[in-house]
Every structure is written in C-alpha cells, then in structure tokens.
Amino acid sequence: MSSTAETSSYSERLGVPLRWWVQGTMLVASLWLALVVALPGLLSSVITAVAMLLLSAAMISFGSAQISVRDGVLRAGRASIEARHLGVAVALDAEATRRTAGRDADVRAFLLLRPYLKRSVKISLHDAADPTPYWLLSTRHPERLAAAVGELTRTSPRRRDTTPG
C-alpha cells in the first residue's frame, strides 16, 4: 500500500549548534578554574563534573525537538496535526521570521522556535474546532519543509468545514 502521502516525507532534528557546545564547555572550564584555587581538588572536580553533566543534559534536551512530515501527519516537538487540518505552508527568511514571531505574532499560534535557527515555516490551519491560526516552526531547510507540507496537503483528503460562510 503505497501512496504519495506516504512517500512524501521530511524529518529534521533541531539540534544545538557546535558553537553552543564549545561555549558551554568553556563556561564549565572557567568554573573549574575558579573552583580549583578555592576548594580541594576532588571537590572542585566533582562540582565541575556535575556542572558539565547538567550543561549536557540541557543542551541535549533543548536540541531534541524534531519536525517530521510523514504518514499524513505533521509532527513538531510533542505536537502533531493531521494533514486535513493544514493549509498553506510558507518558507520565511530571517527577517520575516523575526517579524512573525515578534511584532506580527498571534498569541494563539503554535510556536516551535530555536534562537540559533533564523529561518522558519509558517503553516496556516483550517480546523473550526481549533483556535490556533498557524504553526511557526524553526528549521534549517524552510523550502524543503514547506514543500513537504504542501505535498502532504495536496495528497490528503479534505474534511468539509462546518463553519458558516
């Protein structure tokens, strides 16, 4: 059983960039330097190791969000939505993303944004039961994500809206 919706897919993990890891490691090294002159060696090493573990856990957790388009569903982080509720997907450049997430933002929108990803995709929604007007998703590949969502919506059967016209 193979359909276009099943073959059209996209997947991306919004992992933290290498420079954040380097800067975090430098921060922990600075902590170690401050502790090693003030505390006994073993205690300063234990505190530094705990700090590095906490930093690693924070970076991995923050960078674990995934966006995927497959099997008739768009998933972004913990949220998911069926293709029949999706509207137009538009790839946004850095300036349009900044405006859409800031000055022009709708408080009801679903946002999955990462500060190290400057571009995004804005996906309008068509679900009378859901007040969310759109999803704004940070991505490294906005054109590819918008194309995958567009393909998903073209191949998905539409539910009839019950809203009066």
Number of domains in the chain: 2
17-32 per-position pLDDT tens digit: 999 999 999 999 999 9
Are 57 and 102 within one domain?
Answer: no
3-state secondary structure 88-105: EEEEECHHHHHHHHCCCC
73 and 45 belong to one structural domain? no
70 and 134, same domain (yes or no):
yes
Q: Classify residue 25: in a domain, yes or no.
A: yes
- Predicted TM-score (pTM) of the model is 0.81
The string of pLDDT tens digits covering residues 53-89 is: 999 999 999 999 999 999 999 999 999 999 999 999 9
Do 78 and 121 belong to one domain? yes
DSSP state letters, 50-81: HHHHHHHHHHHHHTT-EEEEETTEEEETTEEE
Predicted confidence at residue 82, as pLDDT, reads: 92
Q: With a cut of 60, say whether residue 165 has pLDDT above it.
A: no
Answer yes or no: is 8 within a domain: no
Are residues 88 and 50 located together in one domain of the fold? no
Q: Give the tens place of pLDDT for each residue, 145-157.
A: 999 999 988 887 6
Pairing of strands 66-70, 10-13: antiparallel
pLDDT value at position 3? 43
Average pLDDT over residues 114-138: 94
Residues 70 and 129 in one domain: yes
Distance spanning both ends of the chain, measured CA to CA: 37
**Does pLDDT of 160 surpass 60?**
no
In a shared domain, residues 21 and 35: yes
**Domain that residue 25 falls in:** 17-62
Which of 62, 91, 116 finishes a domain?
62
Is 1 within the bounds of a domain?
no
Q: Are residues 25 and 102 in the same domain?
A: no
The per-residue pLDDT for 31 is 96
- Kindly state whether residues 73 and 136 are assigned to the same domain: yes
